[in-house]
Structure 1
Amino acid sequence: MAAQDFQDLCTFESFKSFWHSYGYGVDQQGLIEQEFNRIKGLTYLDHAGTTLFPKSQIKAFYDDISRNIYGNPHSHNPCSRLTHDTVETVRYRILQHFNTSPEEYSVIFTSGCTAALKLVADTFPWTAGSSQNPGSQFCFLTDNHTSVVGMRGALALNGISTVPVRPQEVEKRKPSAQTKSEDVSSVSHLFCYPAQSNFSGRKYPLSYVKEIQSGQLYPACQHSGRWFVLLDAACFVSCSPLDLSRCPADFVPISFYKIFGFPTGLGALLVRNEAAELLRKTYFGGGTAAAYLAEENYFIPKPNVISRFEDGTISFLDIISLYHGFETLRKLTGSMLNIQHHTFGLARYTFMMLSCLRHNNGKPVAQIHGDNDFQNMAEQGPIINFSLLDDQGQTVGYSQVDKMASLFNIHFRTGCFCNTGACQHYLSISNQTVKSNLHAGHICGDNIDLVDGCPTGSLRVSFGYMSSFEDSQNFLQFVVNNFVSKPLILDQIRLARFKSPSVMKASVSYDLALIPNDQPRHKSELKTTASAESTTTKSEDTEQNNHSTHTLTNIFIYPVKSCASFQVTEWPLGPQGLLYDRLWMVVNENAVCLNQKREPKLCLICPVICLASNTMKLHAAGLYIKYYTCI
């Protein structure tokens, strides 16, 4: 398919009927203007990192704390009782959101999902292994967040076995009725898995919960005892409904900023009351003691599960703000199911177009890191993880893409996303390579995107309920303009599989942006202009009498340091190489040379040299034209 057809498919009209079936029936642009006008001119695609809070949520919270006085809930005066009652209302609202009740679950507030995970690691009834008893097993999917894998650090010194399990191994063995364990109390084991991968957006079956608890799923079949399940729902609940009445996980850690955008630094552990009774807590803080002695090792915890585990004064004002978060979310979207439809529709379309993009030689523009093709929202969340490739199939470093995107006000996430296991799996990075990369200076979170030409991470775009179709358009246009060798084509076979809507007239045009000389050059750049004249040179190997042919297809010169290139088909030589190449630089008022590290927008300045008039013209989008005389 030609570039014009791609432009046609990227118009809102051509996709309206398809996308409307996934939306929640609101005026999306009206919603953005009313609640999120601060993101005007910005394409925000990092909702898996944190979503954005609406203006009305903050206003409602401000009006609340402006009218009411909320005291410390550990006191008993009227304003403290108001705080206590409001916090308990929020607890009930949280359980209602997950379709459960206080009879089944308790809400323990923490500083975030990570703190909730640490609470489980520190208090779970682990049994150390011995020669007679293998002890407890701590099992986790390798596609888990760092904070889940890090739980093993609290267990290693206590002799608890750690078993990493690859996703494809989970259903490898199912025990028969005769081998199913009957001992449900002697030893406790814990299996952790994510409801949704924060790397690829893959959703793991919620049915795993009951199957593991009943010993019907690997690895529960291998060890007798009682199996508990920790379901990491932090990524999942941001855009999907979670029904704990159907998948009664024993422990469910969440972070509220993933759902509402505000407040940050507040999470919760949803724990089944049956499992909570088994937790062994050693530290006690203010508000958790029924009685204790300062001069004697005597301590009696409060009987209430929540009171036993919330040390000190909870962040009660932030907790109160959650009430307004739930209410605002309901008013704006209707339900989490509506959000799921909306975000999945946007992600599916973006995936469809991105996976079909091809360079002019037919090679793919993007490599998608995932396990499905976005056909079922029960299996895939609104996350697309990918790497961009040049027209020779080589990976473009994620840091380079990220820097370019920032120039166009497009925000997404890069790296390994605190999920080394998934990163290794999808990018084929061995354990030894991780260690070698560390020795070479690469650590998690830095900008070293390629080591020996191999990627150390990838790119991730993710959608939220306020995301729009224009966000998808802007992202796709950015990729086409900057990382696709023209003429652009689409994979018609793959595109047909998605049953895309009818093509309508395009209203946008695409130009391949010039690549700045401070960035590593794309190999695709050598084939960008088909009309360029070719010059052929031959070299003769006198010793072996062999002939090899080399073809020069394009010439790029960089008259001004850190600015864009100037492409020519022929060019005279000067005393130091190509005439006027790398001759000038931009300086500030103190004569200090500027580069793209200090001023990234320098790459938008395009120099054009006219040999006939001996002048150079500098221009950039939205800026005035300046002429200089070449000396």
Structure 2
Amino acid sequence: MSENKFQHIRDIEFKRLGDQVYFDHTGSCLYTDSHIKRYSEQLTKNVFGNPHSGNACSEKMSDIIHQTRLDVLRRFNVTVDDYDVIFTSGATDSLKIIGENFNWTPGSVYAYTEDNHTSVVGIRELAAERGASAYCVSCAKALLSGCTIVKAPQNLLKSKSSNENPLSLFAFPAQSNFSGAKYPLTWIKDVKRNLLPLDLIHPSRKCNWYVLCDAASFVSTSALDLKEYPADFVTISFYKMFGFPTGLGALLVRKNSEETLCNKKFFGGGSVSGWLASRDFHSPKPVLHDRFEDGSSSFLSILALKLGFDTFNQLGLTIDAIEKHTHDLWRNLYYSMKTLAHENGMPLVEIYLNQDDSTINCTSQGPILAFNIKRSDGSYVGYNHVVQLANSNNIYLRGGCFCNLGACVSLIGTEINVLLEAYGNGHVCGDAIDLIEGKPIGAVRMSLGPHSTVGDVNTYIEFLTDCFREESCVYTSQYSADPDKSTKIILDDILLYPVKSCQGMSVKKWEICDTGLKYDRMWMVVDEYGSPITLKKAPHLTSIRPTVDVTKQCLTLRADDMDSIAVPFIQNLKEAVVRDLNVNAKCVSKVCGDTVVGYDCGESVALWLSQILNVSCSLVQKCFDSQRYTSKRFNAYGNPNKISLVNEAQLLLVNRSSIEYLCRRMIEHGYLDESDTMLDNMAKRFRANLVVSGASSFSEDKWNRISFNATNIGGKNGRVDMVKCGLCQRCNVICIDPDTGQKLNGPLRALANVSLSDNAVRRKPTFGIYLKCDQSSCVLTAKSEVTIEDIT
């Protein structure tokens, strides 16, 4: 199948991609338009019933399920005489079935390779619970004979056990979902012939080995011939093959190995031939898949799977053609990235592979590339920053360890003690921590699929060159921790953002309440499902200009070419109904994982917003008495403080000198055109509440306690103290022009390349500091003096 044919399929079946570049096929393949159209047509033309019901539409569905099982087996070159197919919710569910039901006994061994998905490793807990010994092995250069133990077992294997021939299980991935390394399928027969070198564990006895092959990553772009490589158990997730349906996978069980899954206790509807409620009696169904598919199957998803096979066949997307296409693209990508370098010759990319380039071919390497970006001085760029910057360029990647911490640690070289300490300090998978002491604890992953093209690869190489290749040294700021005693630091501006993600409102003076600035982020726009609409989703939110009238207790929204609309404050539900705002009930939504209770502000403002954003949406006001607190990561700075709908902390401060410095760097490198309004435009991007002037650039990073002039409610002059509780880590929101809603990548790129005067490169794109305030019922005034009380 020619590259032109693949490009034609991309042009016809994926018009919705437009200029977006999708490199997360290992996360999920993309579904074709034809697949969805076929599925919709089948649903609208037919009546499909529950296969357990026994009527005509039920029998039709039963026939489709049977044919789909045959399609699955055909894909792997076997028949119903060789394997059974148990439909599950995905590969993880399939692995759980094995762990829960395998015939573990004292003396059994569960051996799994270090390079494995979380769900494969999780089986060890179930094995150990029944007395088996679980070992993690590392296979140097993908050689079975070179396996070494890298983890002591939960249970020590005894030389004698109650079972002279205990059943044991070896688990490995056909393809690493971290690096794309393909492991030899010949291991399947070798392990069953007792060639796994674990005699150092039990030299006096050989195990009765069975083999689990996790093929979820492998089968999306490679052929798996189970006739030639008869693994006992094979796990699959179909969305990785077709993109749709999600929530459907399969466990393929070799007929000769069925008896090993003998520990099933629970039974559900459809999985038993007979049972009694008044007696301890039930009789499992004799056919394996009937016995393990408790309850009604996801029969409409199985219909979608059948149509997935049919669609790929119609398009000519054979697995051999897909394998060649994706491997050719991978080689193009790999060698292009490998040659990228900074002006001083330092490599731009550090790639993580399990093998030397000389041995790379389509049988040893899948279309996955894991890497980190390095600066010209050899320091690392955090993978979160790379993913965010790619997002702002409509390029979709994944960062982290991809549920494969073993391969991640092994290939990157992360110290186990470093990770244990990080977990002890609150680090969790998927959080913002990507560098510890300057070293990466994860990577960026690109994964190609049938619908990737040469144009996608070229776009990404251009992105790396434009955004990360350095032609000179990183910028050095005029950093000074101590403020200049001869220059006063002034509170230059006070801003609040009544509606989350919309324009800010500059004020001369404003009240501090127990959540920060009063009415700051008290409202948010939500979609038809109640989820917040943010700048990342809808840049045109910047066209909405909210103002708050405290006297009239009213929020007013304005936008170009629209009449303004007034939204009265809602004190409680009863008041909302009296005001005839058409509020039916309280709304429940989530902001940064926190549950938020609010009030729908009515149909009028919903229609007004929907016209501007061109999506169905509404305005929600947070209940005044609904409590939400600062991020847990700020607990070290004292008791949690109440917050409104902000992401993390009560207040955000930025330094005008830091903004000016960043603007100069952007102008020098062509990211920004110099203009009179440029500084104000840049200041708006950072969405700060407090803007100060008079301090040296980036000195705010080391301020710990700050004192502002304030007026107590009642008229008495005084001061209000605020405590820094962290640096504000920046994402691609700062790339959105607050005046036009257009994206400009310069701010995020420039920020990542700033270094301090002590040559400590800013490892993360942070800008501004979070503040917390334990005082309330006082008023801040712009242009008043600021005192820095404590400096690190």
| TM-score range for the pair, normalised by the shorter chain length | 0.7 to 0.9
SS of aligned partner of 2:122: helix
Give TM-score scaled by structure 2 length.
0.59
Secondary structure at the aligned position of 1:166 is classed as strand
CA deviation map 1:114-134 (0-9, x unaligned): 000000001101112xxxxxx
CA 562–272 in structure 1, closer or farther in 2 if over 3 Å, else same? farther
Give the direction of change, closer, same or farther, for the CA distance of 1:243–1:48 in structure 2 (3 Å limit). Answer: same
> 2:39 matched to 1:61?
yes
Q: Contact conserved, 2:475 with 2:665, CA < 8 A, in 1?
A: no
Deviations 1:345-396 (A, max 9, x none): 1011100010111111111111110023273110000001111111111111
Q: Aligned partners of 1:564 and 1:260: how far apart in 2? A: 48
Matched, 1:239 2:221: yes
* SS of aligned partner of 2:431: coil
Deviation at 1:470?
Answer: 0.5
CA deviations on 1:301-342 (whole Å, 9 max, x unpaired) are 111111111000000010011111011112224410100000
2:198 alignment counterpart: 219
Among 18, 37, 60, which residue is 1:82 paired with?
Answer: 60
Native 8 Å contact 1:106 1:273 kept in 2: yes
Whether the 8 Å contact between 2:82 and 2:255 is mirrored in structure 1 is yes
Query: Is 1:462 matched up with 2:461?
Result: no
Q: Residue type matched to 2:115 in 1?
A: D
Q: Does 1:112 align with 2:247?
A: no
Which residue number in structure 2 is paired with residue 604 of structure 1?
A: 744
Tell me which amino acid in the other structure corresponds to 1:304.
V
Greater Cα shift, 141-150 or 355-364: 355-364
Corresponding residue of 2:537: none
CA distance change for structure 1 residues 404 and 78 in 2, over 3 Å: closer, same or farther?
A: same
Distance 1:164 1:403, change over 3 A: same
TM-score (normalizing by structure 1): 0.74
- Equivalent in the alignment of 2:134: 162
Q: Which residue of 1 aligns with 2:391?
A: 406
- Note the 1:493-532 alignment, pairs <5 A: 524=474
1:430 and 2:409 matched: no
Match of 1:313 in 2: 296
> What amino acid is the match of 1:232?
D
- Output the amino acid matched with 1:439: G
- Which secondary structure state, in structure 1, belongs to the residue aligned with residue 323 of structure 2? helix
The code of the aligned residue for 1:144 comes to N
CA contact (8 A) 1:558 1:565 kept: no
Q: Which residue in the other structure is 2:325 paired with? A: 342
Classify 1:586/1:380 alpha carbon distance in 2 versus 1 (closer, same or farther; 3 Å). Answer: same
Tell me, in whole angstroms, the C-alpha distance in 1 between the residues paired with 2:664 and 2:462: 20
CA drift at 1:605: 7.7
SS at match of 2:146: coil
In the other structure, the counterpart of 1:291 is 274
Shift of 1:601: 2.3
1:579-594 to 2 correspondences below 5 Å: 586-587=683-684
> What code does the residue aligned with 2:175 have?
Q
Deviations 1:526-575 (A, max 9, x none): 7xxxxxxxxxxxxxxxxxxxxxxxxxxxxxx8655986834559xxxxxx
Partner of 1:212, secondary structure, is: helix
RMSD value, Cα: 2.9
Q: Any idea what SS the aligned residue of 1:49 has? A: coil
Distance in 2 (alpha carbons) for counterparts of 1:563 and 1:330: 54
Return closer, same or farther for 1:562/1:277 CA change in 2, 3 Å cut-off.
Answer: farther
Q: Contact 2:21/2:456 (CA < 8 Å) preserved in 1? A: yes
Cα distance per residue 1:396-452 (max 9 Å; x no partner): 110111111111011011001100101110111122111112233321111211111
Q: Secondary structure at the match of 1:103?
A: coil
- Could you tell me how far apart the structure 2 residues matched to 1:172 and 1:378 are? 20
The correspondence for 1:251, drawn from 233, 246, 249, is 233
Question: Match of 2:494?
Answer: none
Question: After the TM superposition, which of the residue ranges 104-113 and 322-331 deviates more from structure 2?
Answer: 322-331
Unaligned runs of 5+ in 1: 1-22, 129-134, 175-183, 488-522, 527-556, 570-579, 608-631
Q: Which residue of 2 aligns with 1:149?
A: 121
| Greater share of strand | 2
Structure 2 equivalent of residue 549 of structure 1: none
Counterpart of 1:574 in structure 2 is none
Q: 1:472 to 1:165 in 2, by over 3 A?
A: same
SS at match of 1:371: coil
Query: Contact 2:735–2:746 at 8 Å: present in 1 too?
Result: no
Query: Is 1:46 the equivalent of 2:24?
Result: yes
Tell me the distance in 1 between the aligned counterparts of 2:53 and 2:663. Answer: 64
Whole-Å separation in 2 of the counterparts to 1:565 and 1:69: 64
SS in structure 2 opposite 1:299? Answer: strand
- Tell me which residue corresponds to 2:101: 123
**Matched position secondary structure for 1:237:** helix
Residues in 2 aligned to 1:307 and 1:197: alpha-carbon distance in whole angstroms = 31
Aligned length: 498
Return closer, same or farther for 1:277/1:559 CA change in 2, 3 Å cut-off: closer
Match of 2:482 in 1: none
Partner of 1:519: none
Amino acid at match of 1:601: I
Q: Residue type matched to 2:12 in 1?
A: Q
Q: Percent identity?
A: 38
SS at 1:156 equivalent: helix
C-alpha separation in 2, matches of 1:301 and 1:246: 32
